[in-house]
Chain A
Amino acid sequence: MSFPWAKEYKPAIGLTQWLDEKLPLPRFVYNAVGAGYPVPRNLNYMWNFGVLAGFCLMLQIITGVILAMHYAPNALVAFDSTEHIMRDVNWGWMMRYAHANGASAFFVVVYLHIFRGFFYSSYKAPREMIWLLGVVIFLLMMATAFMGYVLPWGQMSFWGAKVITGLFGAIPVVGEPLQIWLLGGFAPDNAALNRFFSLHFLLPFVIAGVIILHIWALHIPGSSNPTGVEVKAESDTVPFHPYYTAKDGFGLGVFLLIYCAILFFAPNALGHPDNYIPANPLSTPAHIVPEWYFWPFYAILRAFTYDFFFIPAKLMGVLAMFGSILVWFFLPWLDTSPVRSGHYRPLFRKFFWFGLIPTMAILFYCGGAPAEEPFVMLSQLASLYYFAHFLIILPLVSSIEKPEPLPFSITEAVLGKDESAVLNANPTAA
């Protein structure tokens, strides 16, 4: 694809000319993230997180491959080999902390990326496929992160493995055999640890593959932008390089500052102390919680405390937890408003800022809190809103809302003419 005004790759010297004829890799890069990719000129900093997420995946793969050189996936020695990395391997402590906090950083970045998509309705036509692939990436990330957390074979690792595979046990009839099959035993042990290690090593490369599809799909319609107005002319775009490489470079610097501050000065702040206790199949920690990035979904899982007709509470929780992410797949068809950006959707915007965001915050908090009142009741109300927001409110809002007037073009929005234009057309919008 691309816009007619996209710059064409011109090999500068003989070597690149030769390469371009045999294997046009430089051309491919040039068109993907170089000067050959025209991008809306008005992207704000919320558009930095895609590149940052890619960076996080690279970081995880590099540190992960290194950790795998020293780690031993055997229940007898896994915990000790982790400590061996922390104490004896040259820079091993840094590699492990970089990987553990890298997972958190990856999720922070991806959550911001997803919520950017929610606010600007990046999932809408013609970008549905980008969104669907993104949800697939998110699911793969969750699976990878979960299996990675099992590997140190601490108390939280062990009980996390037991509880999460237990979710599959909720499925009627096949649940229990399925759980035993997943674990290769009746409880997490060597078999489970070894297969989790193998899959934890494999999945990131699958994620990398889906990311390539995600970016490929992105390049068909081109990037969306904060106004949600499609690109109309060359003046609406700038080449990715140098404009967005420079902007992403600065964003990467800020990201690394925050990430390294945590890595070097509070590396265990996001972890749980119990995972420094070796796995003990005979004693469950008093308060087991998954890693922070699963808390909202964990809260939804725990919100179902009573059997609903013939459906056991446990199964309801599992259905709801998976459903809470699966519902994202249907977003492009649930939200039918012709306007994309939340900036021009007054009602949608209210539900986003005063509905969805506080709900996620409450779910997040309740997921990390013990299973006691008032947290259970709070998470029930928040889960209720969560499902209502996506499945009921969003379709309703898109049909009754009267959007605010859009700028004529991106250029107009950037150069500040839209303010007066909007005011002239609709004085109440101020």
Chain B
Amino acid sequence: MAEQASIDTSAEAGEGVRRRDFINIAAVSFAGVGGAAVLFPLVSQMAPSADVLAQSSTEIDISAITPGQAIKAIFRKQPVFIRNLTPAEIASADKVDASSLRDPQTLEERTKEGKTNWLITMGVCTHLGCVPLGAGEGEVKGEFGGYFCPCHGSHYDTAARIRKGPAPKNLEVPEYSFISDAVVKIG
């Protein structure tokens, strides 16, 4: 203390006051930091729990889907459309000039190499999240032969690209890979 005071040329009383202020400010700051640290678990507890995250990949048997057919599977508690395209549907998708589209993508970019007939997309309209029609048997496929969202009238083509209506993007293609010819792993 004495040594410090001799280095510091200011009056002793002034130094004492500053040291006191420092302690009070430090104590309040510690309380602030502690309070902020507690916020972390309070916030992160709302993020997906371990069991939800563990279900973030799913394996689906696609061997029974014939060309022209589609199924609805569940991935992360949301529908995913798996569609086996006919050659005619592929041709109709390829005919379109991709650069003229709202969300320019070719069918090739949206499928895996050598498996162009397997169109796998989320069944979630990119407008506001309804499930489009067209995957189930007998459902309306819209003006472009793909999917049609009845909520606000978005039409998707055979490559599930947005062609007409309010949706801003093509139906999302999730991450997936073929484990074998018969099994696809999504996520």
Interface residues of A (CB under 8 A from B): 62, 66, 69-70, 84, 87-92, 94-95, 249
Contact = CB atoms under 8 A, between A and B. Distances in A.
Given A249-B27, A249-B31, A84 B45 contact: no
**DSSP majority for the B interface?**
helix
Contact of B41 (A69, A87, A95): A95
B42 A89 contact: no
Interface in B56-75: none
A92 B46 contact: no
**DSSP majority for the A interface?**
helix
Contact of A88 (B27, B41, B51): B51
Given A249-B27, A249-B31, A84 B49 contact: yes
A89 B52 CA distance: 9
A74 B103 CA distance: 47
Interface range on chain B (Cβ under 8 Å from partner): 10 to 19
A91 B44 contact: yes
B41 A91 contact: yes
B47 A90 contact: yes
Contact of A89 (B27, B31, B49): B49
A62 B47 CA distance: 17
A429 B166 CA distance: 91
Contact of A90 (B27, B31, B41): B41
Interface of B: 27, 31, 41-42, 44-47, 49-52
Contacts of B49: 70, 84, 88-90, 92
Contact of A69 (B31, B44, B45, B50): B45
B96 to A, nearest CB: 45
21 contacts: A66-B42, A66-B45, A69-B46, A84-B49, A84-B51, A87-B50, A88-B50, A88-B52, A89-B45, A89-B49, A89-B50, A90-B41, A90-B45, A90-B49, A91-B41, A91-B44, A91-B45, A92-B45, A92-B49, A95-B45, A249-B31
Per CB-CB distance, the 6 closest pairs between chain A and chain B, nearest first, are A91-B41, A88-B50, A88-B49, A88-B51, A89-B49, A90-B44
Chain A CB within 10 Å — which of B45, B46, B51 has the most? B45
Contacts of B52: 88
B143 to A, nearest CB: 44
Contacts of A92: 45, 49
B125 to A, nearest CB: 28
A91 B52 CA distance: 15
A352 B44 CA distance: 49
B50 to A, nearest CB: 4
B83 to A, nearest CB: 34
A70 B31 CA distance: 29
